[in-house]
A and B are shown apart, each in its own frame.
Chain A
C-alpha cells in the first residue's frame, strides 16, 4: 500500500493498471482525457502489459471492447458526456451480451450550449442501459470502486459491465491523497477473468444472435433478473474489499448513522460539500443528516427505504433535469422507491450544479432551510432550482 497524491483521473488509471487490464480501447474527451492519456503512457513505457487500441470514436471504443471481452480479455475504457452518448447503443449490447467491461465516466453536461463541465446529465441518459453503476465521492473511491468493479462485474454469477461515475473536474481534475494497494494485494483480491463461454474456434458459440419475438422477452427477463441478483455479489465484493484493504463501502450511506429528522440526499462528489453543510447545522443543534447514494444500479431499494423511513423530510439534490418530466431523476427514483412504504418522509426536490456550476456549503444550508419550510407550509411542488439567477 502506498499513499500518493493523485488527480482523480490518475487514480482511475492506476486502478486499471494494478487490476492488470489486458485491453484498453479509448477516445479522448474532456474531462476524462487524463485517464486514458495516463494509461496510454503506462502501456508505451512498459509499465502495463496491455493492448491499447486508439479508435476513431467512443462508439468504436466500446465496440472494440465487446470483442476483446468476448474472447476473455480484461477490458477498461473511460468516457464522458457526449462520448457516453455516442456509445449509447453499444452500452445496451455490452450489458445484454453480459460482457463485463469496466468504464470510468467523468460526468459531464450535455450540449447545447457546449459545456465540458460537470453534471449528471450523461449518467441519467444511460440510466436504463443495464450496467451496474456506482457514483464515487472522491479520488480514493474512484480507485477503490474500479478495483471492486472488476471483482464484481467479472464474477460468474454477475457478468455485467460496470460504470464508475466520477464528477468531471470536481474529482477528475482534483489532486488528493490516495491509498493505492500493491499489485500483489490486488492479485489476492481479484481472481483472473474467466468468461464462461468465450469466443473460441474449438468451442464455437454465437453471441448477439437474432432474437425473434418468441425469445426476446425471455432474454430480457433473464437479463433483468440477473442484474437484480447481482446485488448479492455487489455486497460481498464490498465485504471482501474491506477485508483486503480496510475501507468499507455500502449501497447508501447515512450520516450520522442513526439518521435524522431532516435528511439531505446527494450523489457523487457534491456529497462532501453537503456533509459540511449538515455538520454545520448539527453544530447549531439542528436534527439534520445526509443520505448519499453510491449504488445507482441495481437501485438499492431496501437500503434506501431503510435509511429514509424514519425521516420526516427528505431533501433531494439532483444535478440534471428530466425535461418535461416530474423533477430531478434521482428524486423521481427515490419517490418511486418510497411509494409503497407505509411510513415515508415528505420529499422535496432541488435541481442545481448544472454544467459545472458549484453549489457551496452555504447553498446546501439554504436548501435544507427551504426544504423544511416547504414541508412546514405544505407547499410541495414539483421541484425548485438552486443557484440559478432568476
Chain B
C-alpha cells in the first residue's frame, strides 16, 4: 500500500486491490543489525537460505548466497543457524 495516501483515498475497509503488493513493503526498514557474510568461511550449505523467514536470501549462479537488504529485517536467524560462523550481525550504524 502507498503510505502517502490520505484517509480520503482509501478503499472502504482499507481493502487492497493490487495483488501481491506486499512485495513492495520494505521490511528492511525494521532492521537494526544487518547480516554480513564472510565468503571465506561459507561452505555454501544453504542453511541460511532455508531458515530465513523473509525469503531475503537468494542463491546466486555460482552457488553462493546473497542477502536482499530491502527485505532483510535483521532477525539474525541466518547467523544463528550458520554452522560455519560465516555470518556476523553488525549494528546498522557501524
Contacts and interface: CB of A to CB of B under 8 A. Distances in A.
B60 interface: no
A214 B7 CA distance: 11
Nearest to A156: B12
Interface residues of B, number: 17
Nearest to A196: B12
Given A204-B19, A209-B1, A212-B3, A218 B10 contact: yes
A212 B15 CA distance: 14
B3 A214 contact: yes
Residue with the highest number of chain B CB atoms closer than 10 Å, among A197, A212, A222: A222
A99 B3 CA distance: 24
Given A209-B1, A212-B3, A222 B10 contact: yes
Interface string B5-29: 1111011111111010110000000
Contact of A222 (B14, B17, B21): B14
A26 B11 CA distance: 29
Contacts of A340: none
A196 B12 CA distance: 9
Contacts of B6: 218
Given A221-B7, A225-B7, A209 B14 contact: yes
Interface residues of A, number: 24
A217 B10 CA distance: 11
Interface string A177-204: 0000000000000000000110000001
Given A205-B16, A206-B16, A209-B16, A197 B11 contact: yes
A159 B12 CA distance: 8
| Interface secondary structure of A, over-half rule | loop
A272 B11 CA distance: 42
A205 B12 CA distance: 12
A191 B1 CA distance: 33
Interface in A329-356: none
Contacts of B1: 209, 215
A96 interface: yes
Interface string B56-83: 0000000000000000000000000000
A222 B8 contact: yes
Contacts of B15: 97, 197, 205-207
Given A96-B13, A205-B17, A209-B14, A222 B3 contact: no
Contacts of B14: 96-97, 209, 211, 215, 219, 222
Nearest to B12: A98
Contacts of B7: 217-219, 221-222, 225
A19 B15 CA distance: 27
Contacts of B16: 205-207, 209
Interface in A354-383: none
A386 interface: no
A126 B56 CA distance: 42
A221 to B, nearest CB: 4
Contact of A218 (B5, B13, B19): B5
A207 B1 CA distance: 12
A124 interface: no
- 6 closest cross-chain pairs (CB), A and B: A98-B13, A214-B3, A206-B16, A218-B7, A221-B7, A204-B19
Interface of A: 96-99, 159, 196-197, 204-207, 209-212, 214-215, 217-219, 221-222, 225-226
Given A197-B13, A206-B16, 9 more contacts: A96-B13, A96-B14, A98-B13, A206-B21, A207-B15, A211-B14, A215-B5, A219-B7, A226-B12
29 contacts: A96-B13, A96-B14, A97-B14, A98-B12, A159-B12, A197-B11, A197-B12, A204-B19, A205-B16, A205-B19, A206-B21, A207-B13, A207-B16, A209-B1, A209-B16, A211-B14, A212-B3, A215-B1, A215-B5, A215-B14, A217-B7, A218-B5, A218-B6, A218-B7, A219-B7, A219-B14, A222-B10, A222-B14, A226-B12
